[in-house]
Amino acid sequence: MDEIRDLAERLWRGDLAPTAQPQPGTLFEITPDVALVTAFGNSIAIRAGGGLLVIDASSRRGAERVIPALRAWDTSPVHTIIATHGHADHVGGLAAFDRDARERGYAQPHVIAHEYLPQRLDRYTRTAGYNALINARQFGSDVPGAVPGAEAWTHWRRPDQVYRDELDLDVGGEVFRLRHARGETDDHTWAWWGSRRFVFPGDLFIWRTPNAGNPQKVQRYPWEWALALREMAALGPEVLVPSHSLPVFGAARVQQALDETARVLETLVEQTLALMNRGARLDEIIHSVRAPADLLERPYLQPAYDEPEFIVRSVWRMYGGWWDGNAANLKPAPDAEVAREIATLAGGARRLADRALALAAAADLRLACHLAEFAGLAAPEDAEVQADRAAVYELRAESEHSLMARGIFNAAARE
């Protein structure tokens, strides 16, 4: 118990980077009846009702580390699993928990989730190839071995029970209140253990800027996300145990973390809508809206995974649709045709590539990427131009802080 509190203290102070996580399969006892097992997607186990209630089953690979660590702590039946949402790093390990139950002669765990979660799993099955591609692009260079292939996106252990808005779960006299929220997903659940003043936010708190704008994933809900954080804060929790990284201990710190995370989201939404209401294009908005700089310096709000610029795009998409306000982009010419025309005007793809390299050397990487992409599209068979394009994207990836941006720019360099 002292070890996890010490690590959490160092993380809160900024002495430990949010990316410096304990080894997967490390079990920390938060209290004698609550354990956190780390993985790419934590599992949280609570002794209650003559066995174990588990919040999140981790990923397929994560569960291979989680279950042995959990069983070294307690061999009781896992009678209930709460899935906070349907992302693979939270439900991918459900089948492994079933297998553990069979091997021990126990009944299969009773899995509870929001009613939208099965629809998410259906969508994953229909888009299995796409999900494998975008997750490899997002995580491939940063989390080796963490990304399942297409086949894995077609096989899911489904929940046994779903709920709509709220569910009070009585486990041996201990009541866990499950609440639905739209945030990172439309099927998100957070849990409140009132008698102990524990809140379990799932991925509504991740020790980073909220993952509310992921450029390769479906719609996220920044405003509703902030509302859920406000609801948690109003309950006065004293311990916050997320499904990624470490807990936050102490009522004052939990309040601060929830409040400031909500403020980042609220600020981005309010600024974006104000500009939309004045008729601004998306281009103007993404280059104008800013999150409070002091909040982004917090150890739990740094844009190391997602980032505010992407969240602004998510707000635009939710309230304004897919068109960005530029009439030329409503029914555009093919990218390659535009690139060839620009190369012709510039005097050839080689001149575009040279200019892109010069801009990159001057640290104008945003503009450099545009010209490098035009050069590459205009001269797809020119190995030197393609190498220069890759070099620009490699420099861009090195300059970025968020995993989302690095993943996409590194993938572009590898193309």
Per-residue pLDDT of the chain (415 residues; tens, 9 = 90+): 689 999 999 999 999 887 777 889 999 999 999 999 999 999 999 999 999 999 999 999 999 999 999 999 999 999 999 999 999 999 999 999 999 999 999 999 999 999 999 999 999 999 999 999 998 888 864 454 556 678 888 899 999 999 999 999 999 999 999 999 999 999 999 999 999 999 999 999 999 999 999 999 999 999 999 999 999 999 999 999 999 999 999 999 999 999 999 999 999 999 999 999 999 999 999 999 999 999 999 999 999 999 999 999 999 999 999 999 999 999 999 999 999 999 999 999 999 999 999 999 999 999 999 999 999 999 999 999 999 999 999 999 999 999 999 999 999 999 8
For the chain, what is the domain count?
3
Token couple for 260: 């400031």
Q: Which of 325, 260, 333, 253 is nearest to 286 (CA)?
A: 325
Question: 409: domain range?
Answer: 333-414
Task: Answer yes or no: is 326 within a domain.
Answer: no
Task: Answer yes or no: is 325 within a domain.
Answer: no
CB 40 within 8 A of CB 24: yes
Give the three-state DSSP class for 190.
strand
CB 162 within 8 A of CB 111: no
Token couple for 155: 């096989």
Q: Which of 157, 166, 265, 148 is nearest to 206 (CA)?
A: 265
Q: Which of 266, 317, 262 is nearest to 289 (CA)?
A: 266
Going by DSSP bridges, is the β-strand pair 166-171/161-163 parallel, antiparallel, or unpaired? Answer: unpaired
- Domain-ending residue, one of 240, 259, 278: 259
- Domain-ending residue, one of 259, 287, 307: 259
How many angstroms separate the first and last alpha carbons of the chain?
A: 47
310 and 251 in a common domain: no
Distance CA 217, CA 184 (A): 10
Amino acid at 382: D
368 and 245 in a common domain: no
